[in-house]
Structure 1
């Protein structure tokens, strides 16, 4: 979606989590101004993207190559938020703001289950379960790819998260960490800690939402996005 009057000024880019696809942002985009230039990306290993899974650092470089607007608001969900934070670290000249939804961007985000999901034997079993639940009966043909992508990204998260966390203070753009009060994947305390570690961030807690904030609270999420757009002067 592009704006006829402001498309050359800035771009709003959404990065999905795992498992995920660009359509995950649809519930929120319906509540956004139709004049916004919204770009929703299928990351490598997911959806319509033909590339295989890559790590957080490589994902960040890939995202940078996709950016078209001179100034960008990055919205990331879950692992997509981890990648968005790294993009902001690498390209402060392009990223004007961040909305990090349920972000695992510090070591405190990791729980015992995260390490089990990346383990050699247990990881193969649990990734199959996650893929089956996420896809449902209509998308069974994608099962093997989703299973492999989930397991590979879980391992990349464990291997690369410290690098992201160590550089969070370098992210100087205005940021919002969006936390679902009922999130059982990323602890609320970890998301509060992430907001403290970022250079210029605040925590927004959505009481009725879990980890999948965008589906359970799309109106509240859209309002948060509009708020930071006004705050950083990218929308009037």
Structure 2
């Protein structure tokens, strides 16, 4: 080989090797499905993992999780809503838990199509209560805006779309095509696992072994790509116009915030009060961003006060 070819080969190895090695060290998505309760639902964009709890014929609540934690983050909330008289449907967003990772941007259109398919299959065409956590709140709000007749109420837990914080590495990767993709594919697992450990320190979790479970997610093929794409698209949306439109339609809304949330901007609740003054707001002072699994009792109390009016 000529020196030029040697240099080209070395450069290719440097560029391709690290992200390829990181990918090879991850488990296939099929392995993530082993032992999961529920069923796989075939939708236009791929297979979605869905679970349903509660008695048939009850009002239906559909829970939409956030950026990094699959639907199991709602285990305690789902159990509590069943006790309150709801049938509860949960699904894993694309690239999380047991769901496929389709190609293309993880944006409003992709996520609302998925949610529409889940509601059509599991709710029998009846209006549902949507409960969204973080990015899931933005997805739920987007669905409610597009499908007002299918939503009886919207509860948002630490909702995204009104300002959020990112560390420097995540901000750079999100804003920088190509190089950002390479860095994210190679190194993001380290940061995601560190974030999982930090989240576990926010307080006792209702999810057993949550740090280990999130670490395993970060080692599942498609997960990191899904997270980066969501950061660039769904989480980049300003949800103020959507929430303003829902307020104008009179949709009952509840927002539950963590008083010590380090990810959602502190001014988010004030923004919501300005654009949707009719929305009920509750702050769990001791909670961080993980309030659905660290403070499920407080969340369920807020929901029990909100849902009788639906």
TM range (shorter): 0.7 to 0.9
The Cα RMSD (Å) is 2.5
Alignment match, 2:137: 81
Q: Which moved more, 1:164-173 or 1:22-31?
A: 164-173
Aligned to 1:165: 240
1:136 to 212, 233, 237: 212
Distance 1:154 1:11 in 2: 29
Partner residue, 1:223: 301
2:161–2:235 CA contact under 8 A, matched in 1: no
Is the radius of gyration larger for structure 1 or structure 2? 2
Alignment of 1:192-231 (within 5 A): 192-198=270-276, 200-231=278-309
Asked if structure 1 preserves the Cα contact closer than 8 Å seen for 2:193 and 2:218, the reply is no
- Residue 3 of structure 1 corresponds to 55
2:62 alignment partner, one of 1, 13, 21: 13
Q: TM-score, normalised by structure 2?
A: 0.65
The match for 1:65 is 117
Is contact 1:75-1:84 (8 Å) kept? yes
Q: Which moved more, 1:218-227 or 1:118-127?
A: 118-127
Counterpart in 1 of 2:175? 119
- Equivalent residue, structure 2, for 1:154: 231
- Three-state SS of the structure 1 residue aligned to 2:86 is coil
TM-score by length of 1: 0.84
Distance 1:89 1:200, change over 3 A: farther
Partner residue of 2:87? 37
Give me the whole-angstrom Cα distance separating, in 1, the residues matched to 2:217 and 2:254: 36
Is the alpha carbon distance of 1:195 and 1:62 closer, same or farther for their aligned partners in structure 2, counting shifts above 3 Å?
farther
Q: How has the CA–CA distance of structure 1 residues 111 and 126 changed in structure 2, closer, same or farther, with 3 Å as cutoff? A: farther
Which 5+ residue runs of structure 2 have no aligned equivalent?
1-52, 197-210
State the match for 2:107 in structure 1: 55
Contact 1:16 1:78 in 2 (8 A): yes
Residue deviations 1:180-206, cap 9 Å, x none?
A: 000000023113312432373121100
